[in-house]
Amino acid sequence: MTRDSLEFLFDVMAERFADPSSSDNPDAPQKESQFLNLIFFMGKLFSKHENREINEVDMTLQLIKAALIYKGVDLGNIFAEDNEDNFKKP
């Protein structure tokens, strides 16, 4: 799928909301931001059975993350791409 196609789909599926930071001046035109409702989009993309499986995986990942945070594990050690110190050259 091309980037143009993805941008078109985002424009079609996205909801538009007024940016709250632009409400300081009521006379100024309000800036709109676009957001994509992932639950709605996933409902259109996947079947109910697939959504249930995705939710189970998501819940498992949430529990793992909560356990790691509870134990005080530095998540930078797990996600090595965010921590370049893990890639020191000998």
Q: Is the pLDDT of residue 48 over 80?
A: yes
pLDDT band at 83 (very low <50, low <70, confident <90, very high): very low
pLDDT band at 82 (very low <50, low <70, confident <90, very high): very low
Q: Residue 25 phi/psi, 5° resolution?
A: -115, 105
63 within domain boundaries: yes
Distance of CA 66 to the CA centre of its chain: 18
Count up the domains in the chain and report the number. Answer: 2
8 within domain boundaries: yes
66 within domain boundaries: yes
d(CA 31, CA 37): 19
* Structure confidence at residue 60 (pLDDT): 94
* Structure confidence at residue 88 (pLDDT): 52
* Structure confidence at residue 22 (pLDDT): 53
Place of tokens 């530095």: 74
